[in-house]
Amino acid sequence: MPRRLLPSLNALRTFEAVARYGSFTRAAEELNVTQSAASRLVRSLEDYLQLPLFTRQSRHIELTDEGRFYSKLIHEALDLVEAGTVELIDSARGKGTLSIGMLPTFGTRWLLPRLPSFQEKNPDISLNIISSDGDLDFTKERIDVAIRFGHGNWPDAIIDPLMSEEIVVVCSPKVMTGAFPLTDYAALRHHPLIRHSTRPSGWDHWFRSVGAPRDVVKWGPSLEHFFMIIQAAISGLGVALLPSYLIQDELKSGALVAPFPARISGPGAYYLVSSAAKSELSRVKIFRRWMLEQIGEMA
């Protein structure tokens, strides 16, 4: 393996501090060194790179273009090293903070009610739960694990399948006592269909799966989260297509009714997605094991 082309870490730390403060004096105070020592370290870095990082005037310094580029890079690199160091210290014996990127409705309806048992078994692990359903970026979102719906194709991650979805059509009970009750699929043409904005093909998948006629469709509101869709259906804004596990309470209470017996599998599944870079941390391994135990208990 070729030798790494790396300058002195002390020189890098000093340069980053001087660039951040725009002052050798303030950087020296932070690093607990003399001003002349800070200046010598930055000079040694410039000699190593064979280019100036600052323009120096009598009482003022300013980053060169190369200095601005390098200071941003070194600042981010030191942030990463610091974060990794804190992670290792906090992760001793399973301690530390586990950051979970959670789909809002899945988290509210399925995960949060189960988390007290995780905390009871692992009191030294703090939980940081973040609403997260966009593109998955562990570094940008600063999360350790995420729960996602899809097809299991997230790069640079450890992927554990959790569960598939059983999809059911639901509506307010008022629909069933109105002018056009849902006694057959054709009656859907008289009611607005509520859409999930991040799953635009959901209704198409349902129509194809059950063989229902789709000659006329009356679209209702398009909403971003399932909990919004649940409330919209309860309020009578239209007919909804929802995972059955999310609406067990509403079906039991009668707030929603399922007019059709058809239950179909949704086009995708839920996955626990863990950062490959953090997969060996104790808190991540403990949470993965616990999640898979929860899914096993549902089988």
Note the pLDDT tens digit of each residue in 30-62: 999 999 999 999 999 999 999 999 998 877 899
Task: Answer whether residue 10 shows pLDDT above 90.
Answer: yes
The tokens describing 241, both together, are: 């297509």
- Residue 206 burial by Cβ neighbours in a 10 Å radius (0-12, 13-18, 19+): buried
pLDDT of residue 298 exceeding 80: no
Q: Is the pLDDT of residue 169 over 60?
A: yes
pLDDT band at 1; cut points 50, 70, 90 = low
* Residues of the chain by 3-state class (helix, strand, coil), percent to 5: 50, 25, 30
The pLDDT tens digits for 255-279 are: 999 999 988 987 788 999 998 888 8
User: How far is it, in rounded angstroms, from Cα 239 to Cα 59?
Assistant: 71
Inter-residue contact 159 to 271 (CB < 8 Å) = yes
**Residues 169, 190: Cα–Cα separation, whole Å:** 15
More confident residue, 105 or 40: 40
**What tokens does 16 get?**
């980053």
Domains 92-164+269-298 and 165-266 are alike in CATH topology:
yes
Q: At what angle do helices 24-31 and 35-49 cross, to 10 degrees?
A: 100
Q: Kindly state the percentage of the chain with pLDDT values over 70.
A: 97
Domain residue spans of the chain:
9-69, 92-164+269-298, 165-266
Task: Give CATH superfamily name and number for 92-164+269-298.
Answer: Periplasmic binding protein-like II (3.40.190.10)
Closest CA to 277 of 151, 130, 142, 153: 142
CA distance 268 to 66: 48
Please state which of the four CATH numbers 1.10.10.10, 3.40.50.10490, 3.40.50.450, 1.10.600.10 is assigned to the domain occupying 9-69: 1.10.10.10
CATH architecture of residue range(s) 165-266: 3-Layer(aba) Sandwich (3.40)
Burial 255-276 (b: 16+ CB within 10 A, else e): bbbbbbeeebebbbbbbbbbbe
